[in-house]
């Protein structure tokens, strides 16, 4: 999830906590509590993403892929970070000589912990995944429910324009909402009807924020946020059900290893679909766009297909019949033994497979290119493509189980 969304969620929850919990007569004032709760939630909701510092010092794209959403995105890591965040808050209060009583401390410690766990829960909703239960469970967990940037969630938080304390904060939220509306209409990713829906939701929530009491406005914003998330989750389950039926009829001899689904922003009807599959000798990836409700929005009207026009992966066209439900962008076919062999003979390949959910490999001259189709958006080596070179003397593998362990025979 992008950090603007993490921040909006943290601020929204922090403001709500300040409204629904009461101060102690001998402790912090109402304004002091509000400032601390909002600050803790906003900072804590972004703190796990400081994991990029580890890869920055190590240097290298592969290090970032492995470390991002790593230890800081686990429950244990969240509890450690929450404790440090609370200690910093305690030091601040003592320096400012703000009175802290037991109730204040419980509220502040709870907010620090909630902020970190909220970050992990939100990141779970994307297709990048998290492994929150390390070291007891090292598998990746994927929600496949929310696009990395979801404008409907920003619209749900619109009451903050009238709730936040400072003019600067209110102006920043208003600017984000205007930017989201502009992106919906101008990015080419959102159908016009859904862009209008997002604009309508934004306007409605602004009216709620302006007219309703502060507590009602905040609770309404949280309810709208959860409703949007639940709506995408329901649509995701329905889409997977349709895809499974399609696969059973069209690929009866293939074993589907995973159903990788990603909605288009603000559009729970249009989904990006990736199907890594195997048969006795081949590893095949099918990539396409899916319409959950073709009577309302046929697949050819789903936006965002140009994102997948020029990629690095060796995709070839497929000759399936046209359908209002699915439009296939192409497929990659390789021997089933290619990736296991590379992972067994190259340390970087083995490390990469601890991250890649839809991996592919392509030989280029005397070397191999490995990539993850989830993030392949350009013809050159991008965010999730590496070129195998000379391995280091020592090979240190991260603890995460390979997402495609079923392909590697693990």
DSSP letters spanning 109-151: HHHHHHHHHHHHHHHHTSSS-B-TTTTT----B----S-SS-H
Residue 46 placed within a domain: yes
Residue 243 placed within a domain: yes
- Confidence at 305, pLDDT banded by 50, 70, 90: low
pTM of the entire predicted model: 0.92
Average pLDDT score, the chain: 91
pLDDT reported for residue 379? 83
- Single residue among 102, 124, 146 that ends a domain in this structure: 124
Residue 369, both tokens: 């290119």
- Single residue among 105, 124, 143 that ends a domain in this structure: 124
pLDDT reported for residue 392? 63
Could you identify the residue written with the tokens 């990746």?
140
Residues in Cβ contact with 104 at an 8 Å cutoff, skipping those fewer than 6 apart: 23, 24, 27, 28, 33
Residue 306 has pLDDT above 70, yes or no: no
- Per DSSP, 316 falls in state B
How far apart, in whole angstroms, are the C-alpha atoms of residue 80 and residue 77? 5
Residue 209 placed within a domain: no
How far apart, in whole angstroms, are the C-alpha atoms of residue 145 and residue 77? 24
How far apart, in whole angstroms, are the C-alpha atoms of residue 113 and residue 148? 23
Q: Which of 1, 88, 8 is nearest to 41 (CA)?
A: 8
Q: How many domains does the chain have?
A: 2
**Bridge partner list, 364:** 367
- Confidence at 56, pLDDT banded by 50, 70, 90: low
CA distances from 281 to 255, 307, 337 (A): 12, 30, 8
Asked if 266 and 404 sit in the same domain, the reply is yes
Residue 180 placed within a domain: no
Residues in Cβ contact with 145 at an 8 Å cutoff, skipping those fewer than 6 apart: 125, 126, 229, 232, 233, 236, 263
Q: Which of 253, 384, 259, 387 is nearest to 311 (CA)?
A: 384
Residue 181, both tokens: 């509306």
- Single residue among 124, 151, 171 that ends a domain in this structure: 124
Q: Which pLDDT tens digit goes with each residue over 65-101?
A: 888 888 899 999 999 999 999 999 999 999 999 999 9
CB 333 within 8 A of CB 361: no
- Confidence at 54, pLDDT banded by 50, 70, 90: low
**Bridge partner list, 256:** 277
- What is the residue range of 339's domain? 237-408
- Confidence at 360, pLDDT banded by 50, 70, 90: very high
**Bridge partner list, 270:** 291
Q: Which pLDDT tens digit goes with each residue over 209-251?
A: 999 999 999 999 999 999 999 999 999 999 999 999 999 999 9
Residues in the chain: 410
Residue 104, both tokens: 């204040």
Residue 161 placed within a domain: no
pLDDT reported for residue 381? 85
Burial class of residue 353 in the structure, from the number of CB atoms within 10 Å of its CB (0-12 exposed, 13-18 middle, 19+ buried): buried
Q: Which of 139, 118, 133, 122 is nearest to 74 (CA)?
A: 133
Residue 253 placed within a domain: yes
Q: Which of 228, 260, 215 is nearest to 21 (CA)?
A: 215
Residue 207 placed within a domain: no
How far apart, in whole angstroms, are the C-alpha atoms of residue 288 and residue 60? 31
Q: Determine what percent of the chain is predicted with pLDDT higher than 90.
A: 73
How far apart, in whole angstroms, are the C-alpha atoms of residue 228 and residue 231? 5
Residue 345 placed within a domain: yes
CB 78 within 8 A of CB 113: yes
**Phi, psi at 273, each rounded to 5°:** -120, 130
């Amino acid at each position: 999830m992008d950090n603007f969304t993490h921040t909006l969620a943290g601020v929204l929850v922090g403001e709500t906590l300040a409204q629904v919990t009461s101060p102690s007569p001998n402790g912090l004032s109402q304004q002091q509590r509000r400032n601390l709760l909002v600050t803790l939630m906003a900072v804590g909701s972004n703190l796990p993403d400081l994991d990029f510092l580890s890869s920055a010092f190590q240097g290298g794209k592969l290090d970032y892929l492995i470390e991002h959403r790593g230890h800081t995105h686990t429950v244990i890591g969240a509890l450690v970070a929450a404790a440090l965040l609370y200690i910093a808050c305690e030091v601040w209060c003592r320096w400012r000589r703000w009175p802290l009583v037991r109730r204040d401390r419980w509220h502040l410690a709870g907010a620090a912990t909630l902020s970190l766990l909220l970050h992990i829960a939100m990141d779970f909703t994307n297709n990048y995944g998290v492994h929150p239960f390390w070291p007891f469970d090292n598998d990746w967990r994927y929600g496949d429910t929310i696009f990395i940037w979801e404008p409907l969630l920003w619209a749900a938080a619109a009451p903050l324009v009238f709730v936040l304390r400072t003019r600067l904060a209110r102006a920043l939220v208003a600017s984000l909402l205007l930017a989201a509306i502009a992106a919906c209409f101008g990015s080419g990713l959102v159908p016009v009807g859904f862009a209008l829906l997002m604009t309508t939701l934004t306007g409605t929530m602004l009216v709620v924020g302006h007219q309703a009491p502060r507590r009602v406005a905040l609770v309404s914003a949280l309810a709208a946020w959860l409703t949007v998330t639940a709506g995408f989750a329901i649509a995701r389950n329905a889409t997977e059900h349709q895809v499974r039926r399609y696969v059973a009829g069209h690929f009866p001899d293939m074993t589907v290893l995973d159903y990788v689904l990603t909605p288009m922003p603000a559009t729970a009807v249009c989904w990006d679909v990736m199907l890594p599959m195997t048969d006795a000798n081949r590893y095949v990836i099918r990539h396409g766009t899916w319409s959950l409700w073709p009577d309302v929005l046929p697949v050819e009207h789903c936006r965002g297909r140009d994102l997948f026009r020029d990629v690095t992966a060796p995709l070839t066209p497929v000759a399936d019949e046209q359908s209002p439900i699915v439009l296939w962008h192409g497929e990659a076919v390789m021997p089933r033994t290619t990736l296991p062999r590379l992972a067994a003979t190259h340390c970087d390949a083995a490390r990469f497979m601890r991250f890649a959910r839809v991996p592919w490999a392509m030989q280029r001259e005397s070397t191999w290119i490995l990539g993850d189709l989830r993030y392949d958006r350009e013809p050159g080596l991008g965010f999730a493509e590496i070129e195998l070179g000379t391995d280091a003397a020592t090979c240190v593998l991260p603890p995460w189980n390979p997402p495609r362990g079923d392909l590697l025979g693990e």
